[in-house]
Amino acid sequence: MAKEKGPRRPRAETPKGFRDYFGAEVAERKAMLDTIAGVYHRYGFDPLETSAVETVEALGKYLPDVDRPNEGVFAWQDEDQDWLALRYDLTAPLARVAAQYRNDLPSPYRRYAMGPVWRNEKPGPGRFRQFYQCDADTVGSGSVAADAEICAMLSDVFETLGLGGDYVVRVNNRKVLNGVMEVAGVLDPADPEKFAHERGIVMRAIDKFDKFGEAGVRALIGKGRMDESGDFTKGAGLSDEQADTVMGFMNAKAGDNEATILRLKTLVGGSATGQEGVQELQDIASLLAAQGYGPDRIVIDPSVVRGLGYYTGPVFEAELTFEITDEKGRPRQFGSVAGGGRYDDLVKRFTGQSVPATGVSIGVDRLLAALHAKGRVAADTRGPVIVTVMDRDRMADYQAMATELRRAGIRAEVYLGNPKNFGNQLKYADKRNAPIAVIEGADEAARGVVQLKDLYLGAKIAAEASHEEWKSQPAQTEVARADLVAEVRRLLGMA
Amino acid sequence: MAKEKGPRRPRAETPKGFRDYFGAEVAERKAMLDTIAGVYHRYGFDPLETSAVETVEALGKYLPDVDRPNEGVFAWQDEDQDWLALRYDLTAPLARVAAQYRNDLPSPYRRYAMGPVWRNEKPGPGRFRQFYQCDADTVGSGSVAADAEICAMLSDVFETLGLGGDYVVRVNNRKVLNGVMEVAGVLDPADPEKFAHERGIVMRAIDKFDKFGEAGVRALIGKGRMDESGDFTKGAGLSDEQADTVMGFMNAKAGDNEATILRLKTLVGGSATGQEGVQELQDIASLLAAQGYGPDRIVIDPSVVRGLGYYTGPVFEAELTFEITDEKGRPRQFGSVAGGGRYDDLVKRFTGQSVPATGVSIGVDRLLAALHAKGRVAADTRGPVIVTVMDRDRMADYQAMATELRRAGIRAEVYLGNPKNFGNQLKYADKRNAPIAVIEGADEAARGVVQLKDLYLGAKIAAEASHEEWKSQPAQTEVARADLVAEVRRLLGMA
C-alpha cells in the first residue's frame, strides 16, 4: 500500500493581478481620499456607496476596447442562474441607482463615490485587477453649468492637494467633434449609424495622439499605420482632404480660449450639432472665467476626446504637467490622472427616458503616485513609542506605561514578542519606525526612573558620530517614572 | 412576419441580498470607522488592505455552520481554471498575508482592517450578502498580554464612541472549556479526535444560551431538544452527571473575577489544559486591573464560547447592555456587537509552523445601529447652502456666489435643475436638508442685495406660527451682496 501523504498546503499568495496594501500605503491613500471628499462635500455632493456586486444586465457593456458581454469583468452565475459580476467602474452602478431610486433622489442628484473596481484583464507591471476610483457626478442637469462646476471642482481638488501650478484641466466637446465629422463627410445627421466604424477609428486615433504623434494619427485616420514591429493597423480610410479637416480640429487650440473657439466655429461650418457644441464650450469658458478659473487651470483643448463611447457632450481630462523620469531615465510629463464628461444616455438604458448626467473619475493610484513624486503626501507614518520588556513578570507595569502614554494622545505599544533578546526588541522598534523606546529594568524600577531612547536621533548619531560621541549615548536620557508622559511629549515635539 | 420588439430593458435593481448606502449612511459609518481606526492606531496597530478576491484554497473553510467547501462564498473559476472567491471575513486574508510576508513583517504584527466581506447566504430582513467588518489582530505573540490588550482596546473603542457604561467585554478561555470537557469525559487528551462531534454540539449549545435558555442548552447537550414547531434536534448524549459539569462551567460566573476563577479552578480539576486556561484568565484579569479596566468594563464570564471552531485559547465578546425595543415591542438588551479570540493555527495551514495570533472583529452595521439608538452618531448631515436661480442668464453670478461661500469653508451649491418653477427649487432645498437658500432676482441685483431664507427656521415657523406671523416672513432677511459670506456664516453659527 502506498504511503499516505498529508494534504498539500495551500499557497499563501494573492491571486494573479491582485495585491495587498500595507500601513503607510493605506494611510496615504485614505488621507488623499479624505481631502478629495472634503472638496466634493463642499460642492454639495453626497456620498453614495453601492455594492461591489451587480447583475451583469445592470452593468451593461461599457468597457473600452471590449466587444463581448462579460469580457473584462469577473462574473459568475448565482443559484437562480442569474449572472452577477463585480463592478468595473463607478458610473454604471450610478446609472442603475439613478434609475432605481428616480422618484426618491433629489434632482439634480450630485453624488461622489470612492472605492475599488475590478477588471478581468491581463495584469501587467503596475496594472492590477482591483484598483480604486474616485468619482463625482451630477445626474439630472442638462445645463453646461454642471459641466463647468465639475471642472472647477476638479481644479479645487488639485489645489487643495498642493498641486497648484502643476496641473491643467482640458475641456472639449463631443458635439464639436461630431460637427467636424459632418464637415469631413463621415457623419450624416440623417443616418447616424453610417460611418460609425470609421468614426470609432478616428476617435481612438485622436485619443492616442500622445502615443502616436501627429503622423501616426494621420496614418490611422487615413490608409493605416505600420508600427515599429511591422504590424499594420487598418485606418479609417479618410481622404487627405477629410483628414486635413480632422487634423485641423485636433490642432485648433490657440493662444487663448477665445481664439480656440473662433477656430472651432469655422471648422464646424454649417453643422448644427457642431455650432451647439462650440456654444457650450463658450458658455463653459465664460462661467469658469467669472469664477476666476483662468486658462492656466482650465483650458479649451480640442485634442481631448476620451476613449469611452458613451460621452455625448463636454469631455474633460486633467493632466499633471510636471516632469518625471520614466523607467528608461527619460524625462516626460506625468500625464493624465482624471477624466470625464457628459453622458446623457446611460440612465435611459433602464427607463427609456433620457436623463442628462455629467461627471469625472479620478485615477486614485496615479494621483497618489503624483503626490509621492511631488512630496505632497499628507499621512503621518511615524511608528508608535515602544515600551520594551526587561522583565516579563512586570508586564502589567509596562502595559500601564503604554496606557498612560495613549491617554495623553501618544501612539504607544508594549513589545509583545519574546523579550529574551533585547536586541530583537530594538530591531523591532526600528522596523516599526518607532521614535522612542522606553526602557525600565529592575534597577530603574527600584530607583523610580525610566530610560528614554530617542531612536531617530540614535540612528542619526550611528550614521554620523565618532566612536566617542556614540559611546556617550547622547540619544538616551534617564527621566523620573512620574515624568514619563511629559518627557515623551517633549521628545516628540508635542509639548 | 412578426413585428420586431426592441430589446428588453435591463432591470434597475441591486442583486438579491445587496443594498446601496446613501449620504448620511455612508458619512455616519465613515465617522464611526475613523474613530475606531484612531483607537487602533493609538495602540500601535497598522492598517492593512487586502484585495476582495482571494484564491479559494487560501481562504480555506472556516465559516460557521458550513460543511462543504465553497459553500457560503461567492466563487468562480478564472481563465486558468483556478477557483477565486470574494473574502468572507478579514481573518482568513490576514492568515494568508502573515504567511506570505512572514520574512518582511514586524513580529509581532499588529494590524487593523476595515472593509466589506461577502457571504453567499440566504438574505433576510437586515441580513445582507455584503457587509462591513472592522478587525484588529496581533500575529506572532503567544503572550496573554496580547489578548488583554485587545480587550482593553475594545473597551477604549466603546468609551471613545460615547458608549461608556453601556457595554461589557466578556472574556473566557477555550482551554478551560476543554478542561471541563475532560472532566466530563468527552475529551481524551490522548485522542483529541474522539468525541469531537459531541463537543461540537456542546459548544454550539452553550453559544446559543441566550436563545434557548438553561433548559434548552441542557436538552441539547443531553438527549436532544424539541423546538416550538415540534422539530427535534438530536443532542450530544451526555449523561446527567456530565451535563451537570458542563452547566456548572457555564454558570460559574460569580460576583467578581477572583471568585469566578476560584470556581473554574475547582471545575477543571486535574486537567492540565484546564489549569493552564484558568491561569491565563487570571493573568488577563490582573493585567487589565493594573491598567484600570474594572469588571464593569471587562469581566471573566465562562458562558462565552464563540461559535467559530478555530479558537484555541482566550475568547472575547462585547455586548451592549442597554435596552432596545424589538420588532414586537418587547424590551431586550441590544446584545453582541464584537467578538474574537486566540487562534494559533490559522497561519500553520500555509507554513506548517504554528504562529500564535489573537484578535477581534466588530460588527460594523450592528454597532452603527447601536450608536443610532443611543443618539451618538457623529457625522454632520447638514445639507449645503442652495443658491437659487432666478434668471438663468446670470448663472455665472450665481456660481460666483457659491464659489465665494465655499472659499469661506461653507458647503454651497447652485440649483442646476430647470429653474423655471421657483417652488421646485425650494422643494429641492428641502430634500437636501439645506439650511439656507440664497435668492437674487433682477430687482435684488439692481439694488446690490440678496435675500437669505433660513430654511430651518422657516420650517419651524410653518409648523408652529399663525398665518400673520408666517406672512411677515421672519425667516427671510435682505442683506447687502457684499455681506453675503459674513451673513451666511452668522446664520450658520460659524461667526
Query: What pLDDT sits at residue A473?
Result: 67
**Chain B: closest CA distance from residue A431 (Å):** 6
Query: What pLDDT sits at residue A188?
Result: 86
Nearest of B362, B87, B194 to residue A130 by alpha carbon: B87
Best to test chain B binding among A5, A41, A49, A392 (most B CBs inside 10 Å): A49
Of the partner residues A140, A156, A292, the one whose CB lies closest to the CB of residue B417: A140
Residue A150 has pLDDT above 90, yes or no: yes
Mean pLDDT of B243-269: 91
**Cβ–Cβ of A106/B397 closer than 8 Å?**
no
Lowest mean pLDDT among A391-405, A440-454, B219-233, B355-369: B219-233
In the chain, the amino acid numbered B271 is: S
Of the partner residues A43, A57, A396, the one whose CB lies closest to the CB of residue B413: A43
Read off the pLDDT of residues A48-59 as tens digits, 9 standing for 90 and up. 999 999 999 999
CB A64 within 8 A of CB A361: no
**Chain B: closest CA distance from residue A348 (Å):** 9
**Cβ–Cβ of B431/A143 closer than 8 Å?**
no
Could you tell me the pLDDT band of residue A63, with boundaries at 50, 70 and 90?
Answer: low
**Cβ–Cβ of A106/B52 closer than 8 Å?**
no
**Chain A: closest CA distance from residue B396 (Å):** 5
Residue A293 has pLDDT above 90, yes or no: yes
Read off the pLDDT of residues B3-39 as tens digits, 9 standing for 90 and up. 555 667 899 999 999 999 999 999 999 999 999 999 9
Average pLDDT over all residues of chain B:
90
Residue B402 has pLDDT above 60, yes or no: yes
Better-predicted residue by pLDDT, A214 or A15: A15
Best to test chain B binding among A16, A36, A46 (most B CBs inside 10 Å): A46
Query: What pLDDT sits at residue A49?
Result: 98
Query: What pLDDT sits at residue A201?
Result: 86
Of the partner residues A15, A80, A350, the one whose CB lies closest to the CB of residue B10: A350
Residue A66 has pLDDT above 90, yes or no: no
Residue B385 neighbours by CB under 8 Å, 6+ apart: B402, B405, B410, B411, B412, B413, B434, B435, B436, B437, B438, B488, B492
Query: What pLDDT sits at residue A124?
Result: 82
Three cell numbers, residue A157: 481638488
User: Which residues in chain A touch residue B143, judged by CB atoms under 8 angstroms apart?
Assistant: 395, 416
Mean pLDDT of B255-260: 92
Read off the pLDDT of residues A453-472 as tens digits, 9 standing for 90 and up. 999 888 888 777 776 766 66
Sequence-ordered strand ranges (E) for A59-166:
75-77, 83-86, 109-118, 130-139
User: Which residues in chain B touch residue A410, judged by CB atoms under 8 angstroms apart?
Assistant: 42
Q: d(Cα A313, Cα A281) in Å, to the nearest integer?
A: 10
Residue recorded with cell 462661467 = A287
Q: d(Cα A439, Cα A336) in Å, to the nearest integer?
A: 50
Residue A116 neighbours by CB under 8 Å, 6+ apart: A52, A130, A131, A132, A133, B51, B52
What percentage of chain B has pLDDT greater than the value 70?
94
Backbone φ, ψ for residue B111 (5° rounding): -135, 150
Better-predicted residue by pLDDT, A462 or B369: B369
Query: What pLDDT sits at residue A154?
Result: 98
Read off the pLDDT of residues B419-463 as tens digits, 9 standing for 90 and up. 999 999 999 999 999 999 999 999 999 999 999 999 988 888 877
**Chain A: closest CA distance from residue B31 (Å):** 11
**Cβ–Cβ of B19/A97 closer than 8 Å?**
no
**Cβ–Cβ of A406/B130 closer than 8 Å?**
no
Query: What pLDDT sits at residue A203?
Result: 83
**Cβ–Cβ of B412/A107 closer than 8 Å?**
no
Best to test chain B binding among A51, A83, A90, A288 (most B CBs inside 10 Å): A51
What percentage of chain B has pLDDT greater than the value 90?
66
**Cβ–Cβ of A152/B42 closer than 8 Å?**
no
Residue A45 has pLDDT above 90, yes or no: yes
**Cβ–Cβ of A48/B23 closer than 8 Å?**
yes
Mean pLDDT of A350-363: 95
Lowest mean pLDDT among A134-143, A199-208, A444-453: A199-208
Q: d(Cα A200, Cα A174) in Å, to the nearest integer?
A: 12
Could you tell me the pLDDT band of residue A344, with boundaries at 50, 70 and 90?
Answer: confident
Residue B280 has pLDDT above 60, yes or no: yes
**Cβ–Cβ of A414/B57 closer than 8 Å?**
no
CB A150 within 8 A of CB A358: yes
User: Which residues in chain A touch residue B69, judged by CB atoms under 8 angstroms apart?
Assistant: none
**Cβ–Cβ of A84/B74 closer than 8 Å?**
yes
Query: What pLDDT sits at residue B378?
Result: 75
Q: Nearest residue on chain A to B153, judged by CA atoms? A: A403
Q: What is the ipTM for the molecules in this complex?
A: 0.91
Query: What pLDDT sits at residue A329?
Result: 86
Nearest of B92, B55, B48, B137 to residue A21 by alpha carbon: B48
Could you tell me the pLDDT band of residue A308, with boundaries at 50, 70 and 90?
Answer: low
Could you tell me the pLDDT band of residue B385, with boundaries at 50, 70 and 90?
Answer: very high
Chain A, chain B: beta-carbon pairs less than 8 Å apart: 274
Of the partner residues A11, A18, A22, the one whose CB lies closest to the CB of residue B53: A18
CA dist list (Å): B143 to A7, A188, A392, B161, B304: 30, 77, 10, 28, 21
User: Which residues in chain B touch residue A420, judged by CB atoms under 8 angstroms apart?
Assistant: none
**Cβ–Cβ of A416/B47 closer than 8 Å?**
no
**Chain B: closest CA distance from residue A43 (Å):** 6
Lowest mean pLDDT among A110-114, A210-214, A413-417, B381-385: A210-214
User: Which residues in chain A touch residue B19, judged by CB atoms under 8 angstroms apart?
Assistant: 51
Best to test chain A binding among B137, B291, B395, B416 (most A CBs inside 10 Å): B416
Q: Nearest residue on chain A to B98, judged by CA atoms? A: A12
Query: What pLDDT sits at residue A193?
Result: 86
Lowest mean pLDDT among A116-130, A155-169, A393-407: A116-130
User: Which residues in chain A touch residue B15, judged by CB atoms under 8 angstroms apart?
Assistant: 51, 53-55, 78, 82, 84
Could you tell me the pLDDT band of residue A209, with boundaries at 50, 70 and 90?
Answer: confident
Best to test chain A binding among B8, B25, B46 (most A CBs inside 10 Å): B46
User: Which residues in chain A touch residue B286, judged by CB atoms under 8 angstroms apart?
Assistant: 396
Could you tell me the pLDDT band of residue A67, with boundaries at 50, 70 and 90?
Answer: very low
Residue B101 has pLDDT above 80, yes or no: yes
Residue A68 has pLDDT above 60, yes or no: no
**DSSP label at B476?**
E
Torsion of CA A181, A182, A186, A188, to 10 degrees: 140
**Cβ–Cβ of B145/A414 closer than 8 Å?**
yes
> What is the per-residue DSSP string for B319-369?
EEEEEEE-TTS-EEEEEEEEEEEE-SSTTHHHHSS---EEEEEEEHHHHHH
**Cβ–Cβ of A15/B84 closer than 8 Å?**
yes
Query: What pLDDT sits at residue A1?
Result: 45
Residue A62 has pLDDT above 70, yes or no: no
Q: Nearest residue on chain A to B146, judged by CA atoms? A: A416
**Cβ–Cβ of A290/B400 closer than 8 Å?**
yes
Query: What pLDDT sits at residue A228?
Result: 83
Of the partner residues B16, B101, B140, the one whose CB lies closest to the CB of residue A417: B140
Lowest mean pLDDT among A382-396, B114-128, B198-212: B198-212
Residue B167 has pLDDT above 80, yes or no: yes
**Cβ–Cβ of A108/B395 closer than 8 Å?**
no
What percentage of chain A has pLDDT greater than the value 90?
66
Query: What pLDDT sits at residue B443?
Result: 95
Query: pTM for this one?
Result: 0.92
CB B457 within 8 A of CB B475: yes
Nearest of B363, B304, B367 to residue B334 by alpha carbon: B367
Query: What pLDDT sits at residue B328?
Result: 85
Average pLDDT over all residues of chain A:
90
